[in-house]
DNA sequence: TCCAAAATAGAACGTTCGTTCTATACCCGC
DNA sequence: GCGGGTATAGAACGAACGTTCTATTTTGGA
């Protein structure tokens, strides 16, 4: 019984360690307190750095790090470092990996499950991407243009159609006047013929671009009706006709591109427009 | 000009490195290919391990790791390792944290930006949820039923309509016979009247449930036509009419529910059905 | 079949690591 | 203000590191 509680109370994961450090921080000697603060502020440094580099960075001696580790029951600095590394290891891995973790328990033992996982992963990736690829100022301008419009024309065909049909649904709920262009090919152009400069259009088209969408956007642009568009390339035919356009590349699984990012974008745009109108309305009262 | 393109084509982040590795994987020598595979399969090991430990684990010589690194333009193994470490450093934290990180740089300084972030976050949450809430065996059964069907009837109204319209688009591409029920209210029932027991239906409805969708599903069920459905509660009127049904709760932002999880589900189902049919077709030849 | 070039394995290199040890500085109760 | 205990800094240690170098093997074209 010379080492009565050797490993029992040694923190085994980062959260536990953090708790213990915070708990005992007050009663810690000066240098150890310094290390404590540094370690919680720069956990990544501790995970990756060497004792020497960390010591320099935290402005202490390497031996202090060892004492610090031993103070909390670890054998040496290295074993404490493992905690910091494990933290990064277990940190929400990539979606692929996360799904791989699911693999064992149930999904994709069955082949369809892996298809399912693939699409979920692709959707995640898409969303990750969209957060950085959409310029918020451009978004603001797009909201401006569409919020001012009398009627919003929604142009989308084929793969983009679900997006505009969601917007149509939401606009209806939000009492925003719109026209959904993209259903029956015949009446589309008649619809667009009625558009005036007080209106605006939102067009969605991804490669391979539906030629009608591009043509319709061009038609409106020629008549000085502002067009906002969502597409997947700077070379998209929509870009040249648009006052504001967004490039949004969806991730794919097995060649089938996700719609999650476009959908999230569409929802945000829809709600932002309605919100802006509501405020303008309030102000007018 | 002794080092004409020193740093130009050296991958600077993990994604770039991954792409280059995959691109050149085929033409890599045996041992280097071995390292390539290992590095992509166990990126964490590379980030934390030492050259010696990694070499042992990957069953190669340490020097091979150095050659591998140099093959891709790095100075030595250590500089390649930095890429793997940076990856963990920047690794997507929780969504909340990630959005908090976005806060500073640009988004949501503008009010619309926060709307945008909100929808992206909601979509992420939805996807996280769906991976665990969908039972893979039920999914498999659903695929079975629908793959066997002659014609697949897609039933969805209002908010669910974008989902079925995507499926309609994809089924068209995949040469799967379908009927899209949900467009003009009048002709819907005529369409469904033609359905036989060789057919099947996929119905989508979320609360507040469109009464027509429930009625149509019941109609088909009474005629012994199998119905698979996607809904958001066990108390959904669709559930009782369905051979297989899925409960899928979407996260929301500002009261607007995401569609990402449903969309991913729909894509997976669509592709899984087509895949199953392709195999059945192959087997028949 | 042979040869030149490329790839590999393994030993050897100097460096840097984490740890330990010891002398010194500091703190606090008396 | 002194003494005993603790905390600290810094030097010294062997071990392990990443890299380089050199035989040896493998490869692919003549």
Q: What is the pLDDT of residues B15-57, one digit of tens each?
A: 778 778 877 777 778 888 888 888 877 787 888 888 888 888 8
Banded model confidence at residue A222, pLDDT cuts 50, 70, 90? very high
Pick the CATH number of A14-90 from 1.20.1260.10, 3.30.565.10, 3.40.50.300, 1.10.10.10: 1.10.10.10
CB contact under 8 A, B159 and A169: yes
> Sign (positive/negative) of CA torsion B37, B42, B48, B51?
negative
B256 close to A267: Cβ distance less than 8 angstroms:
yes
Of the two residues A149 and A50, the one the predictor is more confident about is A149
Residue A147 in this model has a pLDDT that exceeds 70? yes
Could you report how far apart the first and last alpha carbons of chain A are, in Å? 81
User: B153 pairs with which residues across the strands?
Assistant: B179, B201
Domain boundaries, chain A: 14-90, 117-284
Instruction: State how far the Cα of A40 lies from the Cα of A191, in Å rounded to an integer.
Output: 62
Integer distance in angstroms from CA B51 to C1' D20?
15
Using a CB-CB distance cutoff of 8 angstroms, which residues of chain B are in contact with residue A125? none
C-alpha distances out from residue A140 to A33, A243, B57, B109, Å = 47, 13, 52, 11
pLDDT for the residue numbered A61: 85
Could you report how far apart the first and last alpha carbons of chain B are, in Å? 62
Residue in B closest to A158 by C-alpha: B169
Would the Cβ of A48 be found within 7 angstroms of any atom in strand C? no
Asked whether the bond before B208 is cis by omega within 30 degrees of 0, the reply is yes
Mean predicted confidence (pLDDT) in B110-120? 75
Q: Which pair of structure tokens corresponds to residue B239?
A: 């559930």
List all residues 6 or more positions away from A111 whose beta carbon is below 8 Å from its beta carbon.
none
- At the fourth CATH level, which superfamily is domain A117-284? Glucose-6-phosphate isomerase like protein; domain 1 (3.40.50.10490)
Which chain C positions have some atom within 7 A of a protein CB? 6-12, 16-21, 27
Residue B163 in this model has a pLDDT that exceeds 80? yes
A192 close to A238: Cβ distance less than 8 angstroms:
no
pLDDT for the residue numbered B2: 34
Mean predicted lDDT score pLDDT of chain B: 82
Integer distance in angstroms from CA B46 to C1' C16?
20
CB contact under 8 A, B120 and A264: yes
Banded model confidence at residue A99, pLDDT cuts 50, 70, 90? very low
Residue A285 in this model has a pLDDT that exceeds 60? no
Identify the helix (H) or strand (E) that includes residue B46.
Answer: helix B43-48
CB contact under 8 A, A99 and B131: yes
∠ Cα B273 B189 B248 (to 5°): 45
CB contact under 8 A, B159 and A137: no
Banded model confidence at residue B264, pLDDT cuts 50, 70, 90? very high
> Sign (positive/negative) of CA torsion B207, B211, B212, B213?
positive
**B178-181 β-sheet, strand order:** B178-181, B152-156, B200-205, B227-231, B244-247
Mean predicted confidence (pLDDT) in B200-209? 92
Using a CB-CB distance cutoff of 8 angstroms, which residues of chain B are in contact with residue A158? 169
Instruction: State how far the Cα of B73 lies from the Cα of B6, in Å rounded to an integer.
Output: 8
Residue B158 in this model has a pLDDT that exceeds 60? yes
B231 close to B205: Cβ distance less than 8 angstroms:
yes
Could you list the beta-strand ranges (E) of B71-199.
Answer: 152-156, 178-181
Integer distance in angstroms from CA A132 to C1' C25?
53
Residue in B closest to A109 by C-alpha: B136
Residue in A closest to B273 by C-alpha: A112
- At the fourth CATH level, which superfamily is domain B134-284? Glucose-6-phosphate isomerase like protein; domain 1 (3.40.50.10490)
pLDDT for the residue numbered B269: 94
pLDDT for the residue numbered A91: 55
Instruction: State how far the Cα of A164 lies from the Cα of A155, in Å rounded to an integer.
Output: 7
pLDDT for the residue numbered B105: 42
Interface mutation vs chain B, best among A119, A160, A252, most B CBs within 10 Å = A119
Would the Cβ of A52 be found within 7 angstroms of any atom in strand C? yes
Give nearest nucleotide to B30 (CA–C1').
Answer: C7
pLDDT digits (tens, 9 = 90+) for A101-144: 444 444 444 566 678 878 888 888 888 778 777 888 899 999 99
CB contact under 8 A, A166 and B159: yes
Of the two residues A213 and A58, the one the predictor is more confident about is A213
Residue in B closest to A44 by C-alpha: B89
Would the Cβ of B60 be found within 7 angstroms of any atom in strand C? yes
Interface mutation vs chain A, best among B101, B253, B267, most A CBs within 10 Å = B267
A155 close to A203: Cβ distance less than 8 angstroms:
yes
Instruction: State how far the Cα of B166 lies from the Cα of B12, in Å rounded to an integer.
Output: 38
Interface mutation vs chain A, best among B143, B264, B265, B266, most A CBs within 10 Å = B264
pLDDT for the residue numbered A55: 86
């Amino acid at each position: 019984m010379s080492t009565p509680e050797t490993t029992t109370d040694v923190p085994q994961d980062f959260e536990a360690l953090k708790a213990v450090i915070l708990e005992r921080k007050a009663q810690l000697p000066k240098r150890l307190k310094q290390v404590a603060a540094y370690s919680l502020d720069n956990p990544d440094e501790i995970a990756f750095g060497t004792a020497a580099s960390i010591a320099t960075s935290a402005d202490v001696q390497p031996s202090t790090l060892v004492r610090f580790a031993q103070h909390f029951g670890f054998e040496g600095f290295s074993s404490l470092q493992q905690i910091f590394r494990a933290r990064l290891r277990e940190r929400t891995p990539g979606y692929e990996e996360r799904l791989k973790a699911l693999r064992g328990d149930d999904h994709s033992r069955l082949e369809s499950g892996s298809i399912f996982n693939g699409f979920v992963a692709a959707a995640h990736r898409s969303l990750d991407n969209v957060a950085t690829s959409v310029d918020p100022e451009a978004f603001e301008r797009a909201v401006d243009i569409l919020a001012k419009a009398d009627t919003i024309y929604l142009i989308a065909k084929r793969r983009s159609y679900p997006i505009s049909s969601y917007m149509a649904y939401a606009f209806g709920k939000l009492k925003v006047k719109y026209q959904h262009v993209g259903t029956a090919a015949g009446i589309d152009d008649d619809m667009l013929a009625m558009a005036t400069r007080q209106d605006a259009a939102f067009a969605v088209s991804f490669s391979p671009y539906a030629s009608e969408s591009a043509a319709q956007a061009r038609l409106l642009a020629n008549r000085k009706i502002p067009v906002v568009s969502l597409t997947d390339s700077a070379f998209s035919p929509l870009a040249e006709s648009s006052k504001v356009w967004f490039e949004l590349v969806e991730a794919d699984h097995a060649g089938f591109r996700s719609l999650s990012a476009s959908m999230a974008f569409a929802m945000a745009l829809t709600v932002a427009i309605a919100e802006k109108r509501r405020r303008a309305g309030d102000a007018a009262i």
